[in-house]
Amino acid sequence: MRTRLTVAAALLAAVLLAVPATGSGSGSISCGVGGRQPVWIDFADGSVSFWRERFARPGVVVATGGPILAAAARSAGAATVHWDMHLRKRVGTPNVPADPEPIEQRADTFFEYAVSVTGCQRPLIALNELSGASLPAPLPASVELYRDNVLRFVTRLSQRGARPALLIPKAPFVGGGADEWWRSVAQVSDLVLQRYPNANRIWRRGSIDGSRWLRASYRRATTRLIAIGIPPSRLGIMIGFQTGPGAGGREGLKPRSRWFDVVKWQALAAQEVSRELKLAHVWSWGWAQRDARSNDPDKTDAACVWLWARSPALCDAPRILGAELNVDRTAGQIILPGHARCTYEGRPLTASAVAAVARLTGDRELALTALVVRAVERGRSSVTAEDVEAAEQRVVRSRFGGSWSAYRRALASAGATPAVGRAVVGDELARLEILAALKPGRPTSEEVASFRATYAGFLARLVRVEPAPSWLPEGEGVALEVSAPGSVFRIATGRTLKVRTLEGVFTVEALADAAPLGALPTAEARAAAVRELRRERRLLAYEPWTIRKQREAEHRLICERDRMPALGVVSLSSFVPFLAAHEASAAPVERVRG
């Protein structure tokens, strides 16, 4: 393959000396086709019964191989480009490549015909279609010759003044040196990636997930080539509206209003991605009605929706279709308020908010995940702003001796603003509520015994607490140092003390002396161990719960360029442990030696 690439490159270098650079993104790409990109191009031939009604109008570019149809379309105000269905007749196939000798002569003859069809001396020409695009290197000799033929053919067309557009039906293989051939072709020809998903699958995803999937598909199709150095101004995408089974497109989706939804999403997705990547053109295909397989009477209305979705002036779909058309052109689209990185249920997650949390986490993507987790979990809790303010005051009083300046210094040292710190407090309150609602299973006897052995040296104490806290939900029993506030173990026996924590203010009565867990009677120790093990199980159950809720929330999340946050378990209090709801995490634990 390397030898043939060298020969092809030599040919290309000689030709490029005489060929002006194209695909810069400025100027028209063919006669009558404006310079604004992307250019939208719609296929039509004589079998498309509605081509006059839908495509023969100003603002539409018709791709056709018929001179009579092309002339009529131009007379009605449309622009035209040439569409050729027979590339294999000119260059052969990967298995049976054509004789290279007459390739240039064939290109010359073909160019003259394209000029006659389009009435243009520099026509844009769609070549349907490259075979073997996804074949991995190294290639067999016949495929190498076939690709040499393709390169020679499009190079000659470019030399004559045409702008070839080579249609690519499958994901191109660009490894193993194949990237050199693709770059060589892109010097003299545009590349159009065909994307024909099954409309049933898209519709089932809904407007947000379906649109996001389409955009991701269009990006994947083109960024593979952009990554090897092919400029976006040489690339386009082709979207299929065929209706025969097994070829993508409608695939029998009913009622037809659902197909119209998908057609709208396809147009809007192509519009978004082509704008993002600055692609040269967007093509539509599949309108032909040649036989029973393709003769779908709904195509004319689908074509109207396609035109209307990209520009309402091109077809009055709302009037034509009435209640069959959902006229909302915003659902599922990337429409973000200024400076927003994402929106969740319409509420912005701003770039400044991400940056503020990132100063705490040291990672913007982790910060974005944390903000999404917050939005999801706050929506499943009853925590109010008043609750958060009161909890923050308790934190300052119990953990900073009432010194707000010391509290703010601790926040600043961790990279957090007071607003970020207050939000972390809210996260902790919401998570306490969520954890309390989870239903863990009862631990086994073996687990209880192991817990007692592991934590035998930790302090335990029989207490009564009002109201009942998360670390003693029964209200009375043995509190353990692994979860209860340290002050609980310093109260004089028989006395009460008000204990302030992030969770709340509790009146604690010490009913017995503090002692190591290992010294307690078996029944008391067992009850405490069971409670702590159930707490641990809640924490373990929380991880899959939050991941599941984040995944469920994705269809309510819209992000810039669909750069979705990673799913994850994020506890911002791990970066500011003095804000942790879990008392043992918020302050060091003193262990009994011995």
**Per-domain residue ranges of the chain:** 2-324, 340-438+561-577
The domain defined by 2-324 carries CATH number 3.40.91: no
Which residues lie below 8 Å from residue 359, measured CB to CB, with a gap of 6+? 415, 416, 420
pLDDT of residue 351: 94
Judge residue 100's burial from the number of C-beta atoms within 10 Å of its C-beta, 0-12 exposed, 13-18 middle, 19 or more buried.
Answer: middle
pLDDT in tens, the chain (594 residues): 444 444 444 444 433 333 333 433 346 899 989 778 899 999 999 999 999 999 999 999 999 999 999 999 999 999 999 999 999 999 999 999 999 999 999 999 999 999 999 999 999 999 999 999 999 999 999 999 999 999 999 999 999 999 999 999 999 999 999 999 999 999 999 999 999 999 999 999 999 999 999 999 999 999 999 999 999 999 999 999 999 888 899 999 999 999 999 999 999 999 999 999 999 999 999 999 999 889 999 999 999 999 999 999 999 999 999 999 999 999 999 999 989 999 999 899 999 999 999 999 999 999 999 999 999 999 999 999 999 999 999 999 999 999 999 999 999 999 999 999 999 999 999 999 999 999 988 999 999 999 999 999 999 999 999 999 999 999 999 999 999 999 999 999 999 999 999 999 999 999 999 999 999 999 999 999 999 999 999 999 999 999 999 999 999 999 999 999 999 999 999 999 999 998 877 754 333 333
pLDDT of residue 587: 52
Q: Give the chain's end-to-end CA distance (angstroms, integer).
A: 76
pLDDT of residue 589: 36
Nearest Cα neighbor of 36 from 46, 26, 21 is 26
Contact 168, 126 (CB under 8 A): no
| Residue ranges of E strands in 445-587 | 459-466, 476-480, 496-500, 505-510, 515-516, 557-559
Rounded Cα distance between 520 and 455, Å, is 12
What does the CA dihedral 350, 354, 355, 360 come to, rounded to 10 degrees? 150
Kindly write down the DSSP assignment for every residue of 188-210, as one continuous string.
Answer: HSEEEEEE--BHHHHHHHHHHHH
pLDDT of residue 382: 95
Contact 569, 222 (CB under 8 A): no
Rounded Cα distance between 148 and 268, Å, is 37
Chain position carrying tokens 């010294």: 519
